[in-house]
Chains A and B, each alone.
Chain A
């Protein structure tokens, strides 16, 4: 049980880190966004930076302990720098933002929060184990057990002949494996409790943000929408659709792709549509989410470009502004880069032997 408590504590630390990093970035780039959005973008900043550390190490076949050490050092350093910057610029982070606590005077907020907590517990307590569970959690297990990164097959526990580029390009599982090492908790606990809770919280927050935009900044309908969204997911989950990946498989990168990354891309596009594609900060946030999409999940490799491309083209045509299409394509550059790397490996032009 102590392991579960550790995971819940880690969840709070994660949210605090996302908050600090997201707030700093939004301050530096002068984004005029809400405090909740800063936490959300902080998650994407976190993964983008993790990828910068992770990718060279996995391609150079360095040990997992090195990744853990470097990443702990980076997180501490970046957080200290961010805190210093926020202190100097007198910027408040989410947990110190008093205006957010004003909503607590409304009774419905408590009901919605309590139901949301129940929803999270419902997702976390699911005990679904399939082939992908065995493979992905197996991969995290192998990283800790063999002190290697992505070299051992998660299903079979045997060493691969070449690095599987498809799974190596995304650092999602290794990031949580690092967390597992730091907490000294089995990866299965981290995956089932921490990764799942984080996914549901992030996903519900994004839906709340979407609701705020759709209902002209009104909090009550946005909260209702977020709650209803969670209930629909819980009650009506169906094979292959997003509810399955939220309720049962949210410890997988696919769960984050379908419930966190694609909805936030939708949110960014929605904001762009509202502002007629004119605000640069919205394009910057879209770029950030696209750049961090593949590090979060390889399923984003083509789904995110497809969504952004269609969104940008429609925006460009409806607003008669070709700049929107150009900006849209620029946002896709990171995905194109990862796509090229992946295709090189598919056609055996890029093979890294173990």
Chain B
């Protein structure tokens, strides 16, 4: 029963928000009506074959099994030249208008439609306001600079908040994140497992300043072989961080950078184990 409906469901799921689905449908219908008999025949055939060979549950299942994991089937939607079709329909309608006044009126309606129904410029301004030539936050560069000023190592492992981790990997390959992508995916997943027991406390700590078990946090830092730790600034006192064997090396716009004192951390972990045994 669902064969073919996957396609419609998919389109609706993706595009209802901004009238995409209806825009596409209207553009398709308009082009369909305006086209000749031969083109209509071809369009119907394309629709039938697309539903038969691509946009159905059997193909979706097969594709996800062989080529990719779940959630990538949407790429087949790129086969439909949606924006091109909408743009073509609008220009076609414009070209069909007779008389200058009608054309001008139509152009005003289109421009207003495209600009006003579209996204909000206010939200967009922040995205378009680069802080530096790398189009990253200044934190990424400052963290990298602080760490390189402090160490002679070629590669260092660093515990970072998510945003800083993503940014720093695009900027500096010598900084290796201590938290894996899979650990983050698992952390935010609804079916979260205990597979990443030594990375979850680090995610909690550097992203949300949450510590459930101080001993486990210390053990996690040690197990992940972290050389540095980055945390949002002014949340924990320096004394508290020293308790975790972390030595302050500097501050950026939003974060503080700490060096992990491995020797001290090992001793503290040993003490934690003894306390747990007793």
Chain A interface (Cβ < 8 Å from any Cβ of B): 1, 3-4, 122, 125-131, 133-135, 137-138, 141-142, 144-146, 154-158, 186-189, 191-192, 207, 210-211, 214-215, 221, 224-226, 228-229, 231-243, 245, 254, 257-258, 262-263, 266, 273, 299, 301-303, 306-307, 309-311, 313-315, 317-318, 342-343, 346
Complex CA gap A4/B134 in Å reads: 10
B79 on the interface (CB 8 Å rule)?
yes
Closest chain B residue to A125, Cβ basis: B128
- Say yes or no: B45 contacts A314, CB within 8 Å: yes
Complex CA gap A130/B166 in Å reads: 7
Q: Which residues of A contact B90 (CB under 8 A)?
A: 228
- Say yes or no: B91 contacts A126, CB within 8 Å: no
| A301 vs chain B, min Cβ distance (A) | 7
- Say yes or no: A232 contacts B165, CB within 8 Å: no
Contact of B166 among A133, A144, A233 (CB under 8 A): A133
- Say yes or no: A129 contacts B167, CB within 8 Å: yes
Contact with A along B66-103 (1 / 0, CB 8 A): 11000000111111011110111011001100000000
Q: Which residues of A contact B17 (CB under 8 A)?
A: 238
B50 on the interface (CB 8 Å rule)?
yes
- Say yes or no: A129 contacts B166, CB within 8 Å: yes
B136 on the interface (CB 8 Å rule)?
yes
| A267 vs chain B, min Cβ distance (A) | 9
| A156 vs chain B, min Cβ distance (A) | 6
- Say yes or no: A317 contacts B45, CB within 8 Å: yes
Q: List 5 A-B contacts (CB under 8 A).
A: A127-B136, A188-B170, A228-B87, A232-B114, A235-B117
Complex CA gap A191/B133 in Å reads: 12
Instruction: Choose, from B171-179, B211-219, B233-241, B252-260, the stretch at the interface.
Output: B171-179
In B139-194, the 8 Å CB interface with A consists of 155, 163, 165-167, 169-177, 180-181
- Say yes or no: B20 contacts A238, CB within 8 Å: yes
Chain A at the B interface: SS class? helix
Q: Which residues of B contact A1 (CB under 8 A)?
A: 133
Complex CA gap A155/B115 in Å reads: 37
| B86 vs chain A, min Cβ distance (A) | 6
With known contacts A157-B169, A310-B46, A126–B78 Cβ distance under 8 A? no
Q: Which residues of A contact B181 (CB under 8 A)?
A: 131, 135, 155-156
B49 on the interface (CB 8 Å rule)?
yes
Q: Which residues of B contact A155 (CB under 8 A)?
A: 169, 177, 180-181
- Say yes or no: A241 contacts B165, CB within 8 Å: no
Complex CA gap A154/B163 in Å reads: 16
- Say yes or no: A303 contacts B76, CB within 8 Å: yes
Q: Which residues of A contact B45 (CB under 8 A)?
A: 314, 317-318
- Say yes or no: B83 contacts A134, CB within 8 Å: no
Contact of B75 among A232, A299, A317 (CB under 8 A): A299
Chain B interface (Cβ < 8 Å from any Cβ of A): 14-15, 17-20, 23, 38, 41-42, 45-46, 49-50, 53-54, 63, 66-67, 74-79, 81-84, 86-88, 90-91, 94-95, 110, 114-115, 117-119, 127-128, 130, 133-136, 155, 163, 165-167, 169-177, 180-181
Closest chain B residue to A315, Cβ basis: B42
Which 3 pairs between the two chains have the least Cβ-Cβ distance? A235-B118, A127-B135, A141-B173
- Say yes or no: A314 contacts B53, CB within 8 Å: no
| B226 vs chain A, min Cβ distance (A) | 13
Closest chain A residue to B39, Cβ basis: A273
With known contacts A188-B170, A236-B118, A239-B14, A221–B91 Cβ distance under 8 A? yes
Complex CA gap A299/B67 in Å reads: 10
- Say yes or no: B173 contacts A144, CB within 8 Å: yes
| B229 vs chain A, min Cβ distance (A) | 17
Q: Which residues of A contact B50 (CB under 8 A)?
A: 310
Contact of A257 among B78, B91, B171, B174 (CB under 8 A): B78
Complex CA gap A345/B49 in Å reads: 30
| A285 vs chain B, min Cβ distance (A) | 17
Q: Which residues of B contact A127 (CB under 8 A)?
A: 127, 130, 135-136
With known contacts A240-B14, A313-B49, A133–B170 Cβ distance under 8 A? yes
| A294 vs chain B, min Cβ distance (A) | 12
Known pairs A235-B114, A235-B118. 14 more at Cβ < 8 A?
Answer: A125-B135, A129-B163, A134-B167, A137-B169, A189-B134, A232-B83, A232-B87, A241-B82, A258-B75, A262-B78, A273-B42, A306-B76, A314-B49, A343-B66
With known contacts A158-B176, A228-B114, A318-B41, A303–B79 Cβ distance under 8 A? yes
Q: Which residues of B contact A142 (CB under 8 A)?
A: 173
Complex CA gap A207/B75 in Å reads: 19
With known contacts A128-B127, A236-B118, A157–B173 Cβ distance under 8 A? yes
Q: Which residues of A contact B74 (CB under 8 A)?
A: 240
Q: Which residues of A contact B94 (CB under 8 A)?
A: 221, 224
With known contacts A130-B166, A314-B45, A235–B91 Cβ distance under 8 A? no
Q: Which residues of B contact A307 (CB under 8 A)?
A: 79
Q: Which residues of A contact B54 (CB under 8 A)?
A: 306, 310
Complex CA gap A128/B38 in Å reads: 44
Contact of B177 among A128, A156, A225 (CB under 8 A): A156
Closest chain B residue to A210, Cβ basis: B84
| B147 vs chain A, min Cβ distance (A) | 14
- Say yes or no: B135 contacts A192, CB within 8 Å: yes
Q: Which residues of A contact B87 (CB under 8 A)?
A: 207, 225-226, 228-229, 232
- Say yes or no: A154 contacts B133, CB within 8 Å: no
- Say yes or no: A257 contacts B14, CB within 8 Å: no
| A122 vs chain B, min Cβ distance (A) | 7
- Say yes or no: B127 contacts A211, CB within 8 Å: no
| B240 vs chain A, min Cβ distance (A) | 29
Complex CA gap A129/B170 in Å reads: 9
Closest chain A residue to B115, Cβ basis: A235
Closest chain A residue to B86, Cβ basis: A232
